[in-house]
Chain A
Amino acid sequence: MHKSPRPADSTQAMRCYIILITMIRDRAGAQGNAVEVGDLTLALGGRAVLAGVSFTIAANEFVGVLGPNGAGKTTLMRALLGLLRPARGSIAILGAPVAFGNPAVGYMPQFRTAASGMRLRGWDFVAGAVAGHRWGLPLLGHADRAEVARVLALVDATALARRPLRDLSGGERQRLLLAQALLGRPKLLLLDEPLMSLDPHHQHAVVALVRDLQRELGIAVLFSAHELNPLLGALDRVLYLGGGHAALGAVDEVITGPVLSRLYGSEIDVIRLAGRIFVMSRGQAMERDHHGHADHEHV
């Protein structure tokens, strides 16, 4: 019995075509996107922090990651670092599946009080992170020292790196942390709450510094914050996390009553006042303003 070969052939052709398209798309992804997240669910202790989230961040974008406490900002960053395995969905970093210890990803964790009390000088603190995952003695070669000097110069911290950590202000320590995150020329920078417990003046200085570096180096930056206002004017787009969902877009598209109400599934008002934006739920501000930062240290 002979069957006509035509239907099988066309299916085959279709399949080849799909594979080809996928390859082209993946190649474009490899060159064009810093982060691709598809249908991502992240769970902590059995509770879904994010559920079915998808978004794509381009290779040279400055994206603010916003949302109230517990919305999953740190959890998302840990997943992007490969420290937390997704309950479901996929993460691609710079076109490759997410991997633990990726040298192309720079990370600035929230500053720990342990290191802030040390008498060690800033230079040794930054240099301690140079290829720190390798076994052996912490001796730095010529190239390593040049790399430390480069990142310190980038954040204008060459002079303050000579002082002990405990003598530095919060803003000065943030600059050292940023220098550390820039070691090894990462293509993607994840900054976890760099503005926490800084006063408004230092907040603006940190935002301006990150914005300048992001443009100068042509890298992607994810910058998480409690509050949107210090970041206004610097961001390309905002990734707003809330109620287990995420919305990514320009500030004016995302930070609106209808979008945030849909995210939370409850009534949210957005008030624009004198160039600042306030997100309100039943008359309460959802993001705390500058004066509330003393409270953040307990979080």
Chain B
Amino acid sequence: MFEYDFMRNGFVAAGIVAVLAGLVGYFLVLRGQTFAGHALAHVGFTGATGAVLVGGSPLWGMVLVTVAGGVGMGLIGERLQNRDVAIGVVLSMALGLGLLFLHFFTAYATQATALLFGNVLGVTTQTIFALLGLALVSLAGLGAIARPLLFATLQPELAQAKGVRLRLVAVLFLAVVALATAECSQIVGVLLVFTLMVCPAATAQLLTARLGAGLILSVVLALSQAWLGLVLAFYTDWPTSFWITALSGAGYLAATAWASSMTRM
């Protein structure tokens, strides 16, 4: 299967994105902000379709809009009383707008499917370099804020008293999440970003209570699910995104069952 260019490219792209998603997703789940990640992907859809409409690249359109969305969300922060409702309203408006852009750009129905459900086997070498660059930027960002981010997540009041600027850390983190979301969309599509960003991290947190082990496990799970999904897609000819969602979903459910059986003992 590795004699095909598209399979080699798919493996490399999925590998880069899975490592990033596993690490960023761990903090996203720990902070209870998974819905924000989901919302950013939807907002990104508008960016991607808008970029295509004006003749730009969907990846960069998505990056631009998700980062703006993430920073905006971080700045609004906890001032919004019903955050879930507000995010929900914004994301449905964003998807609707994306649909409108697609309507004006009727030529490519496959483009819409690729954006919504991913097209890892259509990744070009050029896109791989873009993905790698973006992943390095967001990992560097995450590395720079990881310590105060963890402190602010576990003990916000104490962190604030010890000099952590909570708002700044929240905004920077959501910018990192936005980049990771845009990357994930390239592999599994905007509708299924959850499957790489949230499922492996949540599974890891069910399986271990240790921070370091959890981060490693989250990456290992994301990576193995993405790659195994590609292998299964190759042999069955079913969509890759289906296999990745099936594997990560099954992994999460199995971990939930295991964790609850451990509590009952």
A-side interface residues toward B, CB under 8 Å? 81-83, 100-101, 103, 105, 107-110, 112, 114-115, 118-121, 124-125, 127-129, 131-138, 163-164, 180-181
- Which residue in chain B gives the minimum CB-CB distance to A131? B147
A-B contact pairs, 16 of them (CB 8 A): A81-B161, A100-B163, A101-B161, A101-B162, A105-B161, A109-B157, A109-B161, A112-B156, A112-B157, A121-B209, A129-B162, A134-B147, A134-B148, A135-B144, A136-B144, A137-B143
Q: In the complex, which residues of chain A have a beta carbon less than 8 angstroms from the beta carbon of B143?
A: 136-137
How many A-B contacts are there with CB distance less than 8 Å?
Answer: 95
- Which residue in chain B gives the minimum CB-CB distance to A123? B210
> Is B159 an interface residue, CB under 8 A from the partner?
yes
Is B155 a contact partner of A129 (Cβ separation < 8 A)?
A: yes
> Is B160 an interface residue, CB under 8 A from the partner?
yes
Closest CB of chain B to A130's CB: distance in Å?
9
Closest CB of chain A to B41's CB: distance in Å?
24
Which of B150, B164, B210 contacts A138, CB < 8 Å? B150
Apart from A110-B157, A128-B154, A128-B155, what are 20 other A-B pairs with CB-CB below 8 Å? A100-B163, A109-B157, A112-B156, A114-B32, A118-B154, A120-B209, A120-B211, A120-B214, A124-B209, A128-B151, A128-B211, A129-B155, A132-B152, A133-B162, A135-B145, A135-B148, A137-B143, A137-B146, A138-B147, A138-B151
Cα distance A131–B146 in the bound complex, in angstroms: 12
Closest CB of chain B to A221's CB: distance in Å?
16
Of A107, A115, A133, most B-chain CB atoms within 10 Å: A133
Closest CB of chain A to B20's CB: distance in Å?
16
Is A129 a contact partner of B154 (Cβ separation < 8 A)?
A: yes
> Is B254 an interface residue, CB under 8 A from the partner?
no
Secondary structure class of chain A's binding surface, majority of residues: loop
> Is B206 an interface residue, CB under 8 A from the partner?
yes
- Which residue in chain B gives the minimum CB-CB distance to A77? B161
Q: In the complex, which residues of chain B have a beta carbon less than 8 angstroms from the beta carbon of A135?
A: 144-145, 147-148
Is B158 a contact partner of A133 (Cβ separation < 8 A)?
A: no
Is B146 a contact partner of A136 (Cβ separation < 8 A)?
A: yes
Which of B144, B147, B163, B210 contacts A121, CB < 8 Å? B210
Q: In the complex, which residues of chain A have a beta carbon less than 8 angstroms from the beta carbon of B214?
A: 120
Given A107-B161, A129-B162, also A119-B144 (CB < 8 A) = no
Cα distance A189–B149 in the bound complex, in angstroms: 24
Is B163 a contact partner of A101 (Cβ separation < 8 A)?
A: yes
B-side interface residues toward A, CB under 8 Å? 30, 32, 143-148, 150-164, 205-206, 209-211, 214
- Which residue in chain A gives the minimum CB-CB distance to B205? A119
Cα distance A112–B205 in the bound complex, in angstroms: 19
- Which residue in chain B gives the minimum CB-CB distance to A138? B147
Which of B150, B161, B205, B206 contacts A128, CB < 8 Å? B150
Is A83 a contact partner of B30 (Cβ separation < 8 A)?
A: no
Given A128-B150, A131-B147, A133-B148, also A180-B155 (CB < 8 A) = yes
> Which 6 pairs, one residue from A and one from B, show the smallest C-beta to C-beta distance?
A101-B163, A132-B151, A109-B157, A121-B209, A124-B211, A164-B209
Given A101-B161, A121-B209, also A115-B146 (CB < 8 A) = no
Of B159, B163, B214, most A-chain CB atoms within 10 Å: B163
Cα distance A131–B151 in the bound complex, in angstroms: 9
- Which residue in chain A gives the minimum CB-CB distance to B163? A101
Is A119 a contact partner of B206 (Cβ separation < 8 A)?
A: yes
Closest CB of chain A to B211's CB: distance in Å?
4
Closest CB of chain B to A80's CB: distance in Å?
10
Is B154 a contact partner of A125 (Cβ separation < 8 A)?
A: yes
Cα distance A81–B210 in the bound complex, in angstroms: 31
Q: In the complex, which residues of chain A have a beta carbon less than 8 angstroms from the beta carbon of B209?
A: 119-121, 124, 163-164
Cα distance A134–B162 in the bound complex, in angstroms: 10
Cα distance A135–B169 in the bound complex, in angstroms: 10
Q: In the complex, which residues of chain B have a beta carbon less than 8 angstroms from the beta carbon of A134?
A: 147-148
Is A132 a contact partner of B159 (Cβ separation < 8 A)?
A: yes
Is B210 a contact partner of A133 (Cβ separation < 8 A)?
A: no
Is B162 a contact partner of A132 (Cβ separation < 8 A)?
A: yes
Of A81, A115, A118, A132, most B-chain CB atoms within 10 Å: A132
